[in-house]
Structure 1
Amino acid sequence: MEEVLSSSLYTQQVKKLYKVGEILGLDSETLEVLSQPERVIQVKVQIRGSNGKIKTFMGWRSQHNSALGPYKGGVRFHPNVTQDEVVALSMIMTWKNSLLQLPYGGGKGGVRVDPRSLTREEVEQLSRKYVQALYKYLGSDLDIPAPDVNTDSQVMAWFLDEYIKITGRVDFAVFTGKPVELGGIGVRLYSTGLGVATVAREAAGKYIGGVEGARVIVQGFGNVGYYAAKFLSDMGAKIVGVSDSKGGVISESGLDVEKVKEVKDRTGSVVNYPEGKKVSNDELLISNCDILIPAALENVINKFNAPKVKAKLIVEGANGPLTADADEILWGRGVIVIPDILANAGGVVGSYVEWANNKMGEIINDDEARKLIIDRMSNAFRSLYEYHEKKMGDKDLRTAAMALAVDRVVSAMKARGLI
């Protein structure tokens, strides 16, 4: 575990855990148990390249905690993947699944590879070899991987096919985020954006008088940003600003979300939208609005621009869009921040619905799946709101969310006699 203990992402997560542990009154022995994964599997993945030469890659699967159920979390293919990152992300998945009251623990996987440097055939080999190395530790009641960075439904299809070939078990629930033909669900495409919009609506009702007519800015117009904007527009909000990596556009009279999407698809950027004022991403973040949804990169709101943010409510569509400094500044200014651990959890809720549907024999249709995601996200927000109001009113919602999640895991571990 030396690699894990020396690294920054893991260290950050442990610091957060110990901070919350102090608030909850947890002893050092319990915190030590929670800070360490139950199992980390390191594998060597070898493939034969199109030139006939062997290519070797390192991969990992971290199974952090199973007190609440089987491990659940994505698998990423990225050149910067480390054991540290995978362990830290598996810990985050434990808290996210707990907060959403899903019957899962936390898991995460990755292979240190740049998939863009491989042919499609080589990516398929890599996917199958990863499962060959790990299949003993996977299963629909043991560990359920899903797509993550640079992996998609096709990779999950290869994972599933290889798992069935090796084990002889035709169990489609072992992986989620699969193609619809293999037990995937259509709503998985937009489940994260739907979750962001649902939580934004719930939070707007509690903190700013409702979502109808609320002015919304969405920073980042990829899958999550587009669907968040689309669903919020359907709910009666006014989308007044959007951006992508090339810049943004603002219109006080409101933007036509579908027209913005068409312009982006056709020209490559939302900046070519014919109406409104063109702005940079930096300007967009501090423009007038009621709800701000950062749905692109991490650390875009920091100690320099947090004092200038005009939104009353921030809903984190991206992972880690606010720095710790920004959190303190905004909380001090009375700006409510709905943390990523809740706000962008629609994806894992979509995975849960897919897994449950596979286990039950494909009995849920898309309308029912969508309703299940909305209900689960709404209920998770309400639970957090009540917990915050009753027990942690002097702390920000991010701290309250992690405290609630950790508290549930600890309670489950105590009930099982694990601590």
Structure 2
Amino acid sequence: MNSNIYNSPVFEMACRQFDRAADILEMDTRLRQRVKMPKRCLAVSCPIELDNGEVVVYEGFRVQHHLSMGPTKGGLRFHPKVDLGEVAALAMWMSWKCALAGLPYGGAKGGIAVDPFALSLGELERLSRRYMQEMIPFVGPNVDVMAPDVGTTPQVMAWMMDTYSSYVGSNASAVVTGKPVGLGGSEGRKEATGYGVAYFAKSYLDDLGIAPEEATAVVQGFGNVGSEAAKALNRFGVKVIAISDVSGGYHNPHGIDIGDAIKYVSKNRTLEGWNGGDQIPNDELLEIKCDILAPCALERVINETNASKLNCRIIAEGANGPTTNQADAILAENPDVLIVPDILCNSGGVIVSYFEWVQDLQSTFWTRKEVLNRLCKLLDRSKAELEAQRSKLGCSRREAALSLGIHRVAEAKRIRGLFP
């Protein structure tokens, strides 16, 4: 079954990944489409008044992939290139990610086609609140729980929580995660995704017998995930020699001053004009010789054009879907490159979002140390289960991760049965 609703290269990529994993699992044909296709998609108009009095209508989307194991869970993306197909693919990947981590969630994702940097703070608030208002019939702490993603922040989550709470007439902190700590957010949530990327990179360095102090890393994408991954890699002893964002790449073979780069971006929004490294094009940055390449931006940046040119030992996928199917096939022929697949590598964010949700529901809050200790235990468990599955099936790490997550969702649907 092909979909006319989710027609996009990213969705097709996610579907091909699913089909490969389903073949490995020899999944019953009666289950395949039920497990594969999203349960629900929403497209809404979000009109807001700009500061100059003009009224602009933005397109917003939300896809809920399945609700067989609990409420759906997933981020909200503000980016000019957001479309329904991309959002659907991200929701699918979130489903497998949650199941792989053993979380009681289905996957979801949302987005608005907008450049958030082009909006004033007031315009951003009006857009965030309007989007949540349109979503109210379809979200809730036990229905669908949103979180930050590309272009959104804890402040956006705070506005959305307030909008939903005003509608239901009581404080509903569990309706979103990634909130400021003072509003029921969790300690450790901000750094969770990037920390997890670095944690897995270090873990696989250990497996390869490479000391972190002797290793180098390149981080593509210097938003929340990339900057936190770079910070954590530094703390583990790894030298980060290149970073990038939309303004381009910055290379310093002696080591990037991550703290200085973060301060610069906090003040200037991007790395443009930063003097902490030699500026190079983003495509060249991906090909720098290093031990760890961490793509932490958008989808499909590693493709059939550049896959054979990569010069790293480990690809730690901080972004969702950064490696195309064609690139996977090329990299499979190179035994010197180890891929830590996205649904494992960047799962730290949704795991700590789960912790935040649990804390909000129970009104009991943990310290940062408690959160990170719990996170590391789940990351270690997921890695061990993935490696056992890889050994059992004789497949790639991506196929092992996907087959584990997909199998768990399929089992839940099989056991629940098909509603008449």
Q: TM-score, normalised by structure 2?
A: 0.87
CA 1:79–1:219: 2 relative to 1, 3 Å: closer
Deviations 1:153-195 (A, max 9, x none): 2221121111111112322111111122211124222111101
The Cα of 1:415 is off from its aligned counterpart by 2.5
Q: Which amino acid aligns with 2:340?
A: I
Distance in 1 (CA, whole Å) between partners of 2:115 and 2:190 is: 24
CA RMSD of aligned residues (A): 2.9
What is the match of residue 371 of structure 2? 369
SS of the aligned residue for 1:139 comes to: coil
Q: Read off the aligned partner of 1:121 and give its amino acid letter.
A: G
Match runs of 1:297-376 below 5 Å: 297-334=298-335, 335-376=337-378
**Residue 26 (str. 1) matches residue 27 (str. 2):** yes
* Stretch deviating more after TM superposition (240-249 or 20-29): 240-249
**Partners of 1:138 and 1:144 within 8 A in 2:** yes
**What CA distance in whole angstroms lies between the structure 2 residues aligned with 1:183 and 1:214?**
38
Structure 1 window deviating more from structure 2 (298-307 vs 328-337): it is: 298-307
Q: Partner of 1:184 in structure 2? A: 185
- Which range is displaced more, 296-305 or 162-171? 296-305
Q: Deviations over 1:189-220 (max 9, x none)?
A: 21111010111122222334554533333334
- 2:13–2:324 contact (8 Å) kept in structure 1: no
- CA deviations on 1:215-260 (whole Å, 9 max, x unpaired) are 3333344432332222223223343444454333242x65554456
326-335 or 287-296, which deviates more: 287-296
- Paired position in structure 2 for 1:285: 286
Distance 1:299 1:367, change over 3 A: same
Q: Which moved more, 1:265-274 or 1:150-159?
A: 265-274
Matches of 2:214 and 2:329 in 1, distance apart?
A: 28
Show the counterpart of 1:404.
Answer: 404
Contact kept in structure 2, 1:241 and 1:284, CA below 8 Å? yes
Rounded to whole Å, the distance in 1 between the matches of 2:384 and 2:297 is 26
Aligned AA (2:276): Y
- Matching residue of 2:275: 272
Question: Is the CA contact (8 Å cut-off) linking 1:242 and 1:270 kept in structure 2?
Answer: no
* 2:386 aligned with 1:384: yes
Paired AA for residue 250 in structure 2? G
Aligned to 1:379, the other structure's residue is in SS state helix
CA contact (8 A) 1:14 1:35 kept: yes
Helix, strand or coil at the partner of 2:357: helix
SS of 1:378 mapped into structure 2: helix
Aligned length in residues: 414
For the Cα contact (< 8 Å) 1:160–1:175, is it kept in 2? yes
Determine if contact 1:98/1:405 at 8 Å carries over to the other structure.
yes
Rounded Cα–Cα distance in structure 2 between residues aligned with 1:255 and 1:77:
28
SS of corresponding position for 1:4: coil
- Measured after TM superposition, the shift of residue 54 of structure 1 is 4.7
Structure 2 counterpart of 1:95 = 96
Identical-pair percentage: 40
Return the letter of the residue paired with 2:13. Answer: Q
> CA separation in 1, counterparts of 2:198 and 2:212?
10
Distance 1:50 1:302 in 2: 41
Deviations 1:321-375 (Å, cap 9, x if unpaired)? 3332322222211011111222122222221121111112132112212222222
1:282 Cα deviation from its structure 2 partner: 4.2
Corresponding residue for 1:142?
143
The superposition leaves residues 297-327 of structure 1 with CA deviations (integer Å, 9 ceiling, x where unpaired) of 5444333433333322211123333332322
Deviates more, 1:33-42 or 1:232-241: 232-241
Question: Would the aligned equivalents of 1:263 and 1:273 in 2 still touch at CA under 8 Å?
Answer: no
1:53 and 1:12 map into 2 onto residues whose CA distance is: 39
Letter in 2 for 1:41: L
CA distance in 2, matches of 1:236, 1:98: 32
- Partner Cα separation in structure 2 for residue 242 and residue 53 of structure 1: 38
Q: Could you tell me how far apart the structure 2 residues matched to 1:82 and 1:263 are?
A: 31
**Tell me, what secondary structure is at the counterpart of 1:72?**
strand
* Contact 1:64–1:94 (8 Å) recurs in 2: yes
Distance 1:54 1:404 in 2: 47
- Relative to the length of structure 1, the TM-score reads 0.88
Q: Is the 8 A contact 2:72 2:145 kept in 1?
A: yes
The runs of at least 4 consecutive aligned structure 1 residues that moved more than 6 Å come to 263-267
Q: Which runs of 5 or more residues in structure 2 are unaligned? A: none
| Gap change, CA 1:133 and 1:239, over 3 Å in 2 | closer
Query: What residue is the counterpart of 2:36 in the other structure?
Result: 35
Secondary structure in 1 matching 2:85: helix
